[in-house]
């Protein structure tokens, strides 16, 4: 079982207003946090709380400011061994990765000025079932 808080997401600005050649950070102009009941895949944080940095200036947003969605994962493995002789046995395995099929969503888009700013558009792997036989001799 794995329970984990979300990955931190970094913010940037579309374009290069600071004219430094590197990624630009936006300015924080309000509270970006949303109550858990208001968060959705189309609005993970308050996007109105950020504005692009002015030309030839640096934004005041810190690194890795936004919390991404958390992870709840439960893997399960069942196996049975059948003994044929003293030196030979057959093992049957049934394994389920992410057995509860709980989605693990990716980080929200953190680029101010992007049409998908604040939205989550990716997810991890769904449930994966695997069967196997192993002959041990």
| This prediction's pTM | 0.75
Residue 48 has which token pair?
Answer: 């109105």
Task: For residue 74, give the 3-state DSSP assignment.
Answer: coil
Residues 91-128: tens digit of each pLDDT:
999 999 999 999 999 999 999 999 999 999 999 889 99
Residue 123 to residue 6: CA distance in whole angstroms: 13
């Amino acid at each position: 079982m794995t329970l984990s808080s979300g990955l931190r997401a970094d913010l940037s600005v579309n374009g290069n207003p600071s004219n430094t050649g590197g990624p630009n950070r936006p300015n924080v102009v309000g509270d970006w946090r949303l109550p858990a009941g208001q968060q959705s895949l189309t609005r993970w944080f308050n996007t109105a709380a950020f504005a692009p940095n002015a030309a030839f200036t640096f934004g005041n947003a810190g690194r890795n400011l936004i919390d991404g969605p958390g992870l709840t994962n439960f893997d399960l493995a069942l196996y049975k061994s059948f003994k044929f002789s003293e030196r030979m046995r057959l093992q049957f395995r049934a394994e389920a990765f992410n057995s509860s099929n709980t989605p693990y969503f990716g980080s929200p888009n953190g680029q101010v000025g992007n049409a998908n700013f604040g939205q989550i558009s990716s997810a991890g792997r769904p449930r994966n079932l695997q069967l196997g036989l192993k002959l041990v001799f």
